[in-house]
Chains A and B, each alone.
Chain A
Amino acid sequence: MTKIGLEIHCQLTKLASKLFCSCKAEYRNTKPNSNICPVCAGLPGSLPMLNKKAVEKAAMISLALGCKIPEKIGFFRKNYFYPDLPKNFQITQYNAYGPTSIGSDGKIEIEGKTIRIRRIQLEEDPGRLVYEGTSEKTMITLVDYNRAGTPLVEIVTEPDFETPKQVRVFLNVLADLVENIGVSDPYLEGAMRVDGNISEGDGNRVEIKNVGSFRDIEKALHFEITRQQSLVERGIQVLAETRHWDEARRITVSSRSKEEEQDYRYLPEADIPIVQIGNNSIEQIKTQMPESIVARRERYIKKYGMPAQVADVLSSDKFYSDLFDKSHNEKNAKEVSNIITTDLMGVADTREKKIELKITPKHLSDLADAIMANTLTRNSGKLALHEMIRSGKSLADVMSSLDLGHVSDASSIEKVIDEVFQEEEKAVAEAKQNQDTINYLVGKVMRKTKGKADPATTLDILRKKLAV
């Protein structure tokens, strides 16, 4: 049996400042080494100042993953030499001498399977290494400390996954979850990073690091399962080691055997006094947390009678569920959810596209109302939606500029039908014989009216004229 566990590093990108100083937490697109101060650069004499907001956000993740939060949390130093660490130690949390990390012993249900969360800890991100040069001789390593000190939450699962697919589903749920509670934007480059550990049967555990994306972790795990299984089949023991994912070659490569594993010489971080959390503040944090994805899904189904699948899709996407919650009223909720899930989500499916959307809750609400009042067909509705997305103009403006007014008076439709009958003699004859082909004529009418004709009225008149 395959056992897979994960270590997920999630930056708290929604915080304004770093974990221990007032430098910006958002380091992307800044000139190298410009977003630093004596504290995050680890200059002699500097001291870390704990960002209390980061503790709250990490507590929110812990609560959302069903973890226990201790009454007091503490920080430790993890000592090792590496050029991306300005102090040559990382301030993190550590539970070996008693639980002091922000979360432990949690669990989350994924497609009927329980994934246990071992612990959640708050820590600082190191700097970033950039390699330049083509050959080994010309290769240089550049260090950018802009990222150093960015608040990071490490989530460690028990080895409860059996397949790479379960891992992917879990990661998607986790990404939705952190986005939903407003602590992180998991789709920012480097905001969510995953390491895996994997073992076959009673075999040794292999860690996989350096995986760039969610898609790649699935591939890396697949590769690793195949590699381990083929070793086992040939009677070769799997070594306990750390392997790196080689993105270009799509294989894992041995990078460090366990025997040489570092001793991190963990030490309590005395510069940050123990933080009292206590029940009161946990309750307070709970009240600040937005509705969970699960609760929201339930609400959509119960209150609006949304089909489970629509509720699923909508509730797990923070952007669209927020838009839905702002757009709908009691009456048009179902229609709004239809527009969002069948049309809008297809148009704007990436972060960038979502940001560019010029659509407002009023647009959506007006559009749903118009469709429900039958002043706009669903087809025209789609055209109107696209135009509103592009221009941001009001529904009324869009309808008049695109001439999308609904044609439902029988005489105008009849006129068009007469034209169609003249042009499509063969199809008319066929329709008289076979009712099923009547839709072809409906389509012709729609095309002529640019989709404005009311489908029901059109069908009515057509039936009468064909006498079927």
Chain B
Amino acid sequence: MNLGISATEFTSQVSDGAISVEEFVAKTLDRIEKVDGNIRAFITVDSQNALGKARVIDKKIKSKEKIGICFGMPISIKDNICTAGLKTTCASKMLESFVAPYDATVISKLKSEDAIIIGKVNLDEFAMGSTTEFSHFGPTRNPWNIEYVPGGSSGGSGASVAALECLAALGSDTGGSVRSPASFCSVVGLKPTYGLISRYGLVSYANSIEQVGPMAKTVEDVAFLLNIISGHDAHDNTTAKNTRIDYVKDLKSGISGKKIGIISQMTGDGVDKEVECATNGAISKLQDLGAQCVPVSIDAVEHSVAAYYTIAAAEASSNLSRYDNLRYGFDFGIEGYEFKAFISKARSNFGPEVIRRMLLGAFVLSAGYYGKYYLKAQKVRTMIKAQLDEAFKNVDYLISPTMPILPFKIGEKIDDPLKLYLTDINTVTANLSGIPAISIPFAMSRSGLPIGIQLFANSFKEKELLQAAHALQETTKLPGIAI
């Protein structure tokens, strides 16, 4: 049995009776057992339930009962998405033993299509980071070389897909958190348009810019998952209406005659040579497929990282203030403290990156500074959106490398927050503007590390975006098994 098949291949093999769900899930659990000691993608593995559910699905298939389109597909879930009965820790001491009493909307949708939640995977604490090093449970490692970071913050999601510990994963993307690990782990990762997918049950970090995003081996798999998890939700006021589209249909339409803008601010200076080379390679492949590629300038991108960290930190400082360990949290004696002393004692258990961002956020929101920082950042956001709208009048897509650099070693940049923040330069634009962006594995460096290419489209143009991404992925031949 080959664990390296795609999610859609899995569904057809199960429905054809070629493989049993139980067998596949058992093999997957064996695989986790075997490799996760090195990768450390999982925080929680739900073996018993996964196997039980697999057996139920097999039985249903045998008796020709109606079955969901996931056919028992094992999926890993970033541990900041609530799953009823299964811990949701956000990789934080603060939620170390928190079990949500409800499923996130994306989880109920997956479950109702008979997906199997095989486990909860690692992230930077509360999704704050781009390397998955800032986890209370320790770093996740890159399956292509375990001395390297897997990207982040959805590093557990990316690594678990790349290491064949699941068929697909959900991550969340606040400033690149799906695309960065997709790029570093050589999988496909989509950051959908803000409002396309319900955030109900996604633990908020920066709620005005983040989205849940699917990650898988192929663009087709990502389209398949998007069909299931997208759409208006009565539990999330920010979801858009009338967004039910079949993203799998016409996926192979190609990109002949389409126009693609190469974002000058995201290529050239500051981009690793090998990454730049791969980007040029992708551009020429797209031209071969009949697309026209032109340079495009989005100069507000220069301010995007500063604006992103201002807005994200401000929202984080508010979103995370509920974690005071009074109503839920970790085991910690409550007796003998005055309220304020208790709060500061409890909240000193956040990790360093979370504390850094909460402090920054509290500062930019404080009286007298709001206009100077927060409002200014919002203006940058408006400017970026306006410039993108202008660009999309002339082009169908935009392109850039997903990450300006190759994966780096664990510990290499952890002491230099600013340097780390700057690696987000190519991803935060999609979050600030709300537009969709996807990372496609395109090449391997000479040292055997993955390089991803990023494509953007205008808001709610996921169907077109996935068509282009599929066309580009079809041009690649990459090694399939990382470890």
Question: How many residues does chain B have at the interface if contact means C-beta atoms less than 8 Å apart?
Answer: 44
Residues of B within 8 A of A77 (CB): 318
A33 to B280, CA, bound (A): 60
* Cβ–Cβ contact B235 & A83, under 8 A: no
A86 to B202, CA, bound (A): 18
**Residue B34, interface by CB 8 Å:** no
* Cβ–Cβ contact A44 & B237, under 8 A: no
A79 to B322, CA, bound (A): 10
* Cβ–Cβ contact B318 & A265, under 8 A: yes
* Cβ–Cβ contact A45 & B367, under 8 A: no
A-B contact pairs, 11 of them (CB 8 A): A44-B328, A47-B236, A81-B339, A86-B322, A87-B322, A89-B318, A89-B321, A265-B366, A267-B365, A271-B237, A273-B238
Indicate whether A38 sits within 8 Å of B322 (C-beta atoms), given known contacts A47-B237, A81-B340, A83-B339.
Answer: no
* Cβ–Cβ contact A83 & B326, under 8 A: yes
**Residue A455, interface by CB 8 Å:** no
Closest CB in chain A relative to B238 CB, distance in Å: 6
**Residue A281, interface by CB 8 Å:** no
Per-residue interface assignment for chain A, residues 70 to 83, with 1 indicating a CB less than 8 Å from any chain B CB and 0 otherwise: 00000001010101
Indicate whether A38 sits within 8 Å of B101 (C-beta atoms), given known contacts A47-B235, A88-B324, A266-B365.
Answer: yes
A81 to B324, CA, bound (A): 9
Closest CB in chain B relative to A272 CB, distance in Å: 6
A83 to B90, CA, bound (A): 23
* Cβ–Cβ contact B317 & A265, under 8 A: yes
Residues of B within 8 A of A45 (CB): 81-82, 88, 100, 102, 104, 200-204
**Residue B207, interface by CB 8 Å:** yes
**Residue A41, interface by CB 8 Å:** yes
A50 to B234, CA, bound (A): 11
Residues of A within 8 A of B370 (CB): 97, 266
Closest CB in chain B relative to A2 CB, distance in Å: 30
Residues of B within 8 A of A272 (CB): 237
A interface residues (Cβ-Cβ under 8 A, vs B): 38, 41-50, 77, 79, 81, 83, 86-89, 97, 143, 263, 265-268, 270-273
Indicate whether A273 sits within 8 Å of B237 (C-beta atoms), given known contacts A47-B200, A83-B339.
Answer: yes
Closest 4 CB pairs of A and B: A270-B208, A265-B365, A88-B321, A45-B82
- Residue ID in chain B nearest A38 by CB atoms: B102
**Residue B460, interface by CB 8 Å:** no
Closest CB in chain A relative to B80 CB, distance in Å: 8
Residues of A within 8 A of B203 (CB): 44-45
**Residue B327, interface by CB 8 Å:** yes
Residues of A within 8 A of B98 (CB): 44
* Cβ–Cβ contact B207 & A265, under 8 A: no
**Residue B315, interface by CB 8 Å:** yes
* Cβ–Cβ contact B321 & A271, under 8 A: no
A178 to B339, CA, bound (A): 37
Per-residue interface assignment for chain B, residues 326 to 353, with 1 indicating a CB less than 8 Å from any chain A CB and 0 otherwise: 1110000000000110010000000000
Indicate whether A270 sits within 8 Å of B207 (C-beta atoms), given known contacts A44-B90, A87-B321.
Answer: yes
A270 to B205, CA, bound (A): 12
A266 to B314, CA, bound (A): 10
A190 to B349, CA, bound (A): 37
**Residue B95, interface by CB 8 Å:** yes
**Residue B199, interface by CB 8 Å:** yes
A87 to B100, CA, bound (A): 16
A73 to B326, CA, bound (A): 33
Residues of B within 8 A of A143 (CB): 326
**Residue B362, interface by CB 8 Å:** yes
A272 to B204, CA, bound (A): 14
Q: Which B71-93 residues have C-beta < 8 A from chain A?
A: 81-82, 88, 90
Residues of A within 8 A of B234 (CB): 49
A46 to B235, CA, bound (A): 8
Indicate whether A42 sits within 8 Å of B237 (C-beta atoms), given known contacts A81-B343, A86-B327.
Answer: no
Other A-B contacts than A267-B315, A270-B315, 6 sampled, CB-CB below 8 A, are A44-B95, A45-B202, A47-B200, A47-B238, A49-B234, A89-B318
Interface centre among A46, A77, A86 (most CB of B within 10 A): A46
